[in-house]
Chain A
Amino acid sequence: MKTSDYKELFKSEADEILQGLEEGVMNLERGSDREPVIEELFRHAHNLKGMSGAMGYDLVVEASHALENILDGCRRGTLDIDSAGTDVLLKVVDLLGALVRWTIEEEAGPGGNELLGEILALLDPMAGGNDGRCRGDQAGEDGGSAAEPESKETPAEEAGCAGTPAGMNSGIKSTKVDLERLDKLMDLVGELIISRIRLGSLAAEAGSRRLSEELTSSGRLISEIQKEVMEARLVPAGQVFHRFKRLAREAARELGKNVDFRIEGSEIGLDRTVLESMVDPLVHLIRNAIDHGVESPEERACSGKNETASVVLSARRERNRVILEVSDDGKGLDFEKIRQNISSSGQAVDRNAELTEEELCRILTAPGFSTRENVSRYSGRGIGMNVVMKVIDSLGGSLHVKSVPGSGTSISMHLPINLSIIKALLFHAGGNIHALPIECIKETARVEEGSFRTIRGRDVMETINGPVPVIRPGEIFGLDQEKAEIRFIKVILADTGEGDVCLVVNRILGQQDVVVKSLPNMIRGISGISGATILGSGKIAFIWDPRVLFHGRSTHESDKETVVSQN
């Protein structure tokens, strides 16, 4: 291993510790059972000291040592941490994080010594007159006594931390793998699948049964590998969720609300890309819940609710989707206000009709929508939900809103677990094969040519849910229209997320797992195409993005009024 590798490891371990510290301090504040929490905090601080000692990061050693001293005081009961104390500790953890980053990257900005100075300045008063400043290993009174018991408690950890910063002591059950390496593995598995499919068609051509049988079993193995690699590539939601605790705490404090923010399902795995892109949307939703959803303690008391509101961020898995949900037990959405807002913004909605979940969703995510009169630091600009929707769209997910007046709102986002292999419906259009993600397919059908109706010069198809515009690939992509002389034509009824469309195709080939390849740089960013895939035959099929593709062509756009008025 090179030094830089150790550095990498140190960084990731230190990040974990800092995260643990932050969580611990907040648990302390929440009034969880103090002893184990403090014990854990102490252990984190101590580990950080050990690790940085091994790396020779003296400033971090000194800072974590000072923190360790304070925590040791608490552990022994000579010191107590009140709510003001937790604030200070959180600040210290932040500074410690900055110090660690500074040390690793030797970056510009405030120097390490200044950071250390700030940390010590914060911690010193807490030590209650004792001189908590203990340099290096020449520990003062506190430090000296602290070092002893803990080395008895965790001898293995001590050795592990001091000797090899990576925690490489024997008996370790997991290892850290570079994400790039996992991505590479994933790519290779994709290639393997393609090559396996190709072999399959060759075997079929050759008519060899033994070969086909052998390929079937190798196919099974490949799917196993694919599954394992995919699982390994998933990142637990908790890795991102943890940072929201702090956010929720601060938002609640600033807005004068009592909020118990809970996280559920942090162990659920998500694709890294999906998880990373969900950070901003989640920030927005959590702030929204605390700002708009949750009432002030007084209001809550008046309506007979617990003064402390609960906001829950949860992750759960349903088949091949992950559902992230932010729910609160606040006042629910103000439907009256929403209606007013819509009519003032000129959107046509029947004022007396109940809003369906879908309509609500569409309204909430329209650009510029807000029920807030005043713009606060946290929310009210009406841009947020629109951005949330865009992110979810780009990931191929969907948004669902449920709200009960008086008892709360929950917003859930259904997201794909991974983005590299998707189920798609393959079809022939314009002489080539194309693919549509299976999630957007409602049904496929064979209809008679004459069965379309024309509304204002546009073909529509009657469905149970009303007329749906007919789209011919030729209109969108200029694909050759194969003028069919046959009586029946094939259609795909697809949900574009904004309304249904009826796509006329030449032939439907069936559903298949496809490995999504992003388009080469040169041709990336064509609207309507989200990627391409190589089929077993070696043919290339483009994967259509139904949302962008049919944008402006679905029922609820300009066609809607026409359609409705004709009904």
Chain B
Amino acid sequence: MNIEELTGRENQGIQLVTFRLGDESYAIPVWKVKEIIRPMKAYPIPGMAGPVEGVINLRGEIIPVLMIHSVLGVARPGAARNGRKKRIIILDTGEGGFGFVVDEVMDVSRVNPGDIRQSPEVNRDHSCEDAILGIVQVAGNMVICIDPARLVSECLSVRDLMSSCAVG
């Protein structure tokens, strides 16, 4: 858990992009976000199961897109739900960009790093607790703050698991 590292450079608070996954609200630091785009066709990667939905062609660059719902243990909204607000958030992790699908991008808000509190131990059947930085109140809502880099490694470990299952 290193909220300091994530926020260090901004004493006056950090800016968070808040978004919705299913019925839950999440947030990531804005400086990790490269861009937010409307959903585009993701090409499924043959032989790859798991959270990687596929790759998209972002102006000639091939970028993997994750369906982080499963990684974070959020139910994927049914097809019946309005998907018009769906977006892909593209992050720059240094290891090459990647994107993930969110059901709606809500806002960019500034919070005080001190206001981010440890998330209560929720007994979920997911190993993604590491990717969760903490919980913060934004405009009266509880928002779960996640660490994108950790999220990637979570995804990859899930991926490895999946692909080893697929092969074996």
Contacts and interface: CB of A to CB of B under 8 A. Distances in A.
Interface string B111-135: 0000000000000000000000000
A477 B95 contact: no
Given A522-B156, A527-B167, A539 B48 contact: no
B57 A522 contact: no
A516 to B, nearest CB: 11
Contact of A542 (B43, B52, B152, B156): B43
A534 B44 contact: no
A133 B103 CA distance: 79
A526 B163 contact: yes
What are the 10 tightest A-B residue pairs by CB atom distance, in nearest-first order?
A477-B46, A477-B47, A540-B43, A521-B96, A520-B96, A522-B64, A521-B95, A523-B64, A520-B64, A540-B57
B74 interface: no
Contact of B46 (A191, A517, A528, A538): A528
Nearest to A528: B47
Interface string A82-125: 00000000000000000000000000000000000000000000
B46 A473 contact: yes
A517 B63 CA distance: 11
A437 to B, nearest CB: 15
B161 interface: no
A434 B46 contact: yes
Interface string B46-62: 11110010011100101
A532 interface: yes
Interface in A524-566: 526-529, 532, 534, 538-542, 544
Contacts of B98: 520, 522
Nearest to A433: B43
Interface string A279-292: 00000000000000
24 contacts: A194-B60, A195-B60, A432-B43, A477-B47, A517-B62, A520-B62, A520-B98, A522-B52, A522-B95, A522-B96, A523-B159, A526-B45, A526-B163, A527-B47, A527-B167, A528-B46, A528-B47, A529-B45, A539-B43, A539-B57, A540-B43, A540-B56, A542-B43, A544-B46
Interface of B: 41, 43-49, 52, 55-57, 60, 62-64, 95-98, 152, 155-156, 159, 163, 166-167
Contacts of B49: 478
Contacts of B45: 523, 526, 529, 542
B47 A478 contact: yes
B46 A476 contact: yes
B47 A529 contact: yes
Contacts of B46: 430, 434, 473, 476-479, 526, 528-529, 542, 544
Interface string A473-494: 1001111000000000000000
Interface in A428-460: 430, 432, 434
A222 interface: no
Contacts of A74: none
A534 B62 contact: yes
Nearest to A525: B163
Q: Give the interface SS of chain B, mostly helix, strand, loop or mixed.
A: mixed
Interface string A372-414: 0000000000000000000000000000000000000000000
Contacts of B41: 539
Contacts of B159: 523
A478 B46 CA distance: 7
A64 to B, nearest CB: 45
Contacts of A434: 46
Interface centre among B47, B156, B159 (most CB of A within 10 A): B47
A479 B166 CA distance: 13
Contacts of B97: 520
Contacts of A522: 52, 64, 95-96, 98, 152, 155-156
B151 to A, nearest CB: 11
B44 A432 contact: yes
B60 A534 contact: yes
Contacts of A529: 45-47
A151 B60 CA distance: 56
Given A520-B98, A522-B98, A534-B60, A540 B55 contact: yes
Interface centre among A195, A476, A523 (most CB of B within 10 A): A523
A432 B64 CA distance: 16
Contact of B63 (A194, A478, A520, A538): A520
Contacts of A268: none
A487 to B, nearest CB: 27
Contacts of A538: 57
B24 to A, nearest CB: 24
Nearest to B42: A540
Interface centre among B44, B55, B62, B97 (most CB of A within 10 A): B62
A264 to B, nearest CB: 41
Interface in A192-230: 194-195
A494 to B, nearest CB: 15
B95 A523 contact: no
B40 to A, nearest CB: 9
